[in-house]
């Protein structure tokens, strides 16, 4: 049998993506101004980013970035364990640990790297990692690369998690879950999972990328919202590039576990530290997120407004009370058609298709920000309803306004 060439492999993969309407297109943003951005020469109202608190362009955050860059330069210079660990990194780690009520924090270049670090530094061939079926890809990849047994339970099913743990051989066990699920917007049953972890002597690890800054008292995330602490959740991921508006991530938790990661995690040891200027910007953002409660209050109001108006117009929503509000479309073509219609109306909303979500579960992933206003939300919902109707007429020749979309 002839060996396949790389050209044949990628051409075949491309043809398959085209046939199934799953081609990904990178868009170029040339300007951002609050919730608006210029894309391909058009000004669009952005409803697909993760700048939940509207901090990415805040004058204090940008000012801290500029001031630190003028003093410390543009780069991280080296890994943290060589000569890249700066006093600003240290200050940010202490601020994050204090905010989230944990003994210690450790900075990483991204949430993806942080998840690789946690699972690979703690689990090996004889161990098991039990995960929610809708976890972020980085958690799944981390378990596969660690070489441990990967077991997945039905979404948000704590009893499913305990079934996966029972009967497993000796070795360390970890339960890993998103705090807020990035595509569905719902929250993991953390209290139930903490009980399972305690009974099964497993470590509970929560990737709270979309919860930090948004959920819980003072924006401390889903772990705090569930009234859990480090004894229940020894390690928790906080990303710095979503509600905090910057870039990077931190793992917070038990001091001994964090120390172990700092000395053994490959994705921490063998990579350049975050630029000190970026750390300074995030430090400013954390202080704003901790103290400016009106941002979370506004998000809550906008979320309620979006859901109430959407339900009145018959849009098919998932049960999410977070700023992530999926509108179900069913098949890929319908999702793409609706996203295109929204863009024509001046709204940028991403059409999410498999493999990011399960087959038959394509959707518009609407994300809300404190930068949006009530009128922005009202206009978006009306535009989605219109896009839904256009897509239905295109498929059936008959309008179906007010009917739920097929899941």
Residue ranges at the known binding site for pyridoxal 5'-phosphate: 111-112, 182, 210, 239
Burial zone of 281 (CB within 10 Å; 0-12 exposed, 13-18 middle, 19+ buried): buried
Bind-site residues:
24, 111-112, 136, 182, 210, 239, 356
Bind-site residues for substrate:
24, 136, 356
Give CA torsion, residues 53, 271, 146, 159, to 10 deg. -10
Strand partners, 390: none
Spatial contact of 323 and 184, defined as CB atoms under 8 Å apart:
no
Q: What is the largest CA-CA distance in the chain?
A: 66
Residue 205's nearest CA partner among 125, 121, 264, 81 is 121
Rounded to 10°, the helix 276-291/59-72 angle is 150
| Distance separating alpha carbons of residues 144 and 119, to the nearest angstrom | 9
Residue located via tokens 């391909």 = 40
User: Would you call the peptide bond into 355 cis, given omega within 30 degrees of 0 as the criterion?
Assistant: yes
Tokens of 172: 């360390």
């Amino acid at each position: 049998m002839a060996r396949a060439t790389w050209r044949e492999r990628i051409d075949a993969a491309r043809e398959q993506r085209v046939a199934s309407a799953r081609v990904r297109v990178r868009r170029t943003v040339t300007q951002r101004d609050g919730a608006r951005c210029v894309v391909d020469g058009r000004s669009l109202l952005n409803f697909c980013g993760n700048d939940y608190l509207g901090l990415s362009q805040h004058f204090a955050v940008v000012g801290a970035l500029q001031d630190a860059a003028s003093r410390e330069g543009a780069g991280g210079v080296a890994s943290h364990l060589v000569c890249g660990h700066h006093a600003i990194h240290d200050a940010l780690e202490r601020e994050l640990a204090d905010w989230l009520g944990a003994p210690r924090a450790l900075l990483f270049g991204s949430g993806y790297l942080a998840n690789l670090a946690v699972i690979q530094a703690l689990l090996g061939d004889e161990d098991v990692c039990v995960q929610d079926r809708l976890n972020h890809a980085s958690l799944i990849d981390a378990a596969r690369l660690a070489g441990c047994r990967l077991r997945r339970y039905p979404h948000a099913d704590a009893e499913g998690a305990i079934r996966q743990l029972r009967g497993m051989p000796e070795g360390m066990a970890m339960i890993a879950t998103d705090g807020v699920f990035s595509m569905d917007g719902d929250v993991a049953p953390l209290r139930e999972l903490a009980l399972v972890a305690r009974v099964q002597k497993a470590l509970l690890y929560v990737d709270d990328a979309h919860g930090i800054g948004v959920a819980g008292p003072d924006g401390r995330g889903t772990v705090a919202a569930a009234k859990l602490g480090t004894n229940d959740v020894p390690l928790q991921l906080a990303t710095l590039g979503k509600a905090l508006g910057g870039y990077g991530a931190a793992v917070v938790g038990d001091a001994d576990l964090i120390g172990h990661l700092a000395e053994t995690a490959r994705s921490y040891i063998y990579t350049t530290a975050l630029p000190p200027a970026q750390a300074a910007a995030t430090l400013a953002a954390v202080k704003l997120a901790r103290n400016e409660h009106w941002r979370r209050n506004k998000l809550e109001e906008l979320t309620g407004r979006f859901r109430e108006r959407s339900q009145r117009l018959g849009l098919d929503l998932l049960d999410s009370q977070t700023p992530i509000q999926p509108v179900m479309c069913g098949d890929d073509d319908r999702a793409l058609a609706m996203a295109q219609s929204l863009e024509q109306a001046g709204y940028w909303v991403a059409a999410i298709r498999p493999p990011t979500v399960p087959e038959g579960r394509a959707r518009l992933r609407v994300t809300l920000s404190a930068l949006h206003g009530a009128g922005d939300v009202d206009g978006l919902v009306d535009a989605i309803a219109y896009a839904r109707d256009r897509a239905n007429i295109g498929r059936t020749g008959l309008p179906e306004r007010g009917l739920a979309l097929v899941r």
